[in-house]
Structure 1
Amino acid sequence: DLRELLAGTLNIGVTYSFSPILTETLLDFMKLYPGVKLNIFYKPMAELMDMLVEREVDFVLAFKPKEPLACVESHSLFQNFLTVVVNSNHPLASKQKVTLAELSEYDLALPARGLQARNYFDAVIAPKGIDMRVRIELNEVNILLKLISCSSLATVLAEATTHNVRGVKAVPLDIPANEMTGCVHTLRDSYHKRSMCEFLKMLSESAAIRERVNAWL
């Protein structure tokens, strides 16, 4: 770990929402540090946090949880928001914002229960008693976005999930306090590998993260 990042292993936990904004940093890091092996785990946040506590991953990239763990530190990367994602020709694609009432008029393909965007969405609609026309639930976001791009279905995802995805439009969901904080989660008072520090530095300076920061400002 002390030999100029020439060797070693870096274990990264990533929620599905973070997948699109990670690619740039992965490719750049691999070019700069070919001796470091990267193990990437894509799982729901609850599973990734268990892996972090068990030291099976060095850090987790995910949105800030509603109920943080005492042993985990969450460092903010960017602010994001929940969006309605549709194909570019969908009637909702031309709107500035989409209300829950408007969304209830369309068939939905939603991320599976347990995924962060779905957790946020369920928490929003539960007290309002609005019935949504859920036709499909998927736990694979890339397939979900592909389905949206070639159908009249709508879905609900964090805006960051659509980074560099062609054929879809993300429209902010018109709900109060529509904020999701993208974070790096690490174990409190734990040793941080040099490769981890360099990877996170590169990620924070990446175009994908800068776009999220600038969009929020």
Structure 2
Amino acid sequence: MNERILLDSALRYFLEIVRQGSINKASTTLHVAPSAISRQLARLEAELGSQLFERHPSGMRLSPSGELLAAHARKARLEAARVVEEITGLEGIQRGTVRIASVEGLASYMLPHLIVEYRKKYHGIHFDLAVSSSIDVTKHVSEGLADIGLTISLAAERNIKVEKRVMAPIHAVMAASHPLAGKPHVTLAQLSHYPFALPTDNTTIRQLFNVSCSRQGLLIEPVLVSNSVTPLVHFAACNGGVTLIGDVSVRHLSQTAQLVSLPIRDREMSGRTIEIQTLAGRTLPKGVADFLDALMQALEATPVM
């Protein structure tokens, strides 16, 4: 059974236009004639007495009325999916899919570990994990494309419920053989004498790093810059130098990597916050709600230095 059974065709077509930005593209993904989609959209606009889209050469954009309907339709689609799961025999937490959107550091290290442990208890639960930027994680949740979002705290967003916030200080990561590896903590001034591998400027880690260096008059030019955390960590593991990663993520790095993570004492390096997000006003399926609890407990259990 599919949740489409419980969702009006006009709303499904409307949501696909929102997602694709045009009737023709929605037609392609839905395998429905453009004329049929146009008729359903016209019916919706006539019944509501309001224009739902603003037509532009670059595509169709939601009007204020369309924004309200889109929020309703996304919640209706998610509620329909939840009901269908229960009707088709979901008893307790035996099967289902948890869709997660997460920033890369948490997706690469913490979440796989947690998913493995969770599936030992509920092996019928499957996971769909999308790795995105902080902004896109929130967008995935607000558009109903993800059940749970794990992101770095930004400005408050409409239609988003913050289930939990935890501090996520930034640590210096290096090989166990690095000259500083035996210290209890380090400063950026101490680290500045060694090669750095850093994330790109659009990440909160890099932005806080830049602010701290500017305040102290430190000039640190990274020898490696990447938009992915994986090569940065491998660079450090190969004793190429130092990289930076959030404390929550680094605690789930493979112990075979022979890596050491050290707290950084500069004040800017402890200013990050992780948020667990869901769609406001939504009743989560049982499996999603239970995994959300496990996720929040895992973050609570993570000691913060």
Q: Which interval holds the TM-score relative to the shorter structure?
A: 0.7 to 0.9
Which residue of structure 1 lines up, in the alignment, with residue 146 of structure 2? 57
Which residue of structure 2 lines up, in the alignment, with residue 117 of structure 1? 205
Deviation at 1:129, TM superposition (A): 4.2
Evaluate the alpha carbon distance shift between residue 60 and residue 96 of structure 1 in structure 2; reply closer, same or farther with a 3 A threshold: same
8 Å contact kept, 2:166–2:275: yes
Structure 2, unmatched stretches of 5+, are 1-84
Structure with bigger RCO (C-alpha 8 Å, 6+ apart): 1
Alignment partner of 1:160 is 2:248: yes
Q: Larger deviation: 2-11 or 12-21?
A: 2-11
**1:21 maps to which of 90, 100, 110:** 110
8 Å contact kept, 1:44–1:116: no
Deviations 1:62-81 (A, max 9, x none): 2323x232332223354331
Normalized against structure 1, the TM-score is what? 0.84
**1:75 maps to which of 163, 185, 196:** 163
8 Å contact kept, 1:13–1:42: yes
**1:183 maps to which of 275, 279, 290:** 275
Aligned to 2:184, what secondary structure does the other structure show? coil
Amino acid at match of 2:239: S
Q: Larger deviation: 193-202 or 29-38?
A: 29-38
Aligned to 1:90, what secondary structure does the other structure show? coil
Which residue of structure 2 lines up, in the alignment, with residue 101 of structure 1? 189
Alignment partner of 1:192 is 2:284: yes
Instruction: Tell me the number of residue pairs that the alignment of Structure 1 and Structure 2 aligns.
Output: 212
Aligned to 2:163, what secondary structure does the other structure show? strand
Deviation at 1:184, TM superposition (A): 0.9
Structure number with the higher strand fraction is 1
**1:139 maps to which of 207, 218, 227:** 227
Deviation at 1:134, TM superposition (A): 0.6
Q: Distance in 1 between matches of 2:239 and 2:148?
A: 36
Q: Distance in 1 between matches of 2:151 and 2:265?
A: 23
Structure 1, unmatched stretches of 5+, are none
Which residue of structure 1 lines up, in the alignment, with residue 135 of structure 2? 46
Evaluate the alpha carbon distance shift between residue 16 and residue 49 of structure 1 in structure 2; reply closer, same or farther with a 3 A threshold: same
Aligned to 1:199, what secondary structure does the other structure show? helix
Structure number with the higher helix fraction is 2
Which residue of structure 1 lines up, in the alignment, with residue 178 of structure 2? 90
Aligned to 1:184, what secondary structure does the other structure show? strand
8 Å contact kept, 1:16–1:141: yes
Deviations 1:149-191 (A, max 9, x none): 1123111211222224331111111212624333311222223
Amino acid at match of 2:236: I
8 Å contact kept, 1:86–1:168: yes
Deviation at 1:128, TM superposition (A): 4.1
Deviation at 1:209, TM superposition (A): 5.2
Q: Larger deviation: 157-166 or 46-55?
A: 157-166
8 Å contact kept, 1:85–1:169: yes
Which residue of structure 1 lines up, in the alignment, with residue 264 of structure 2? 173
Evaluate the alpha carbon distance shift between residue 172 and residue 33 of structure 1 in structure 2; reply closer, same or farther with a 3 A threshold: same
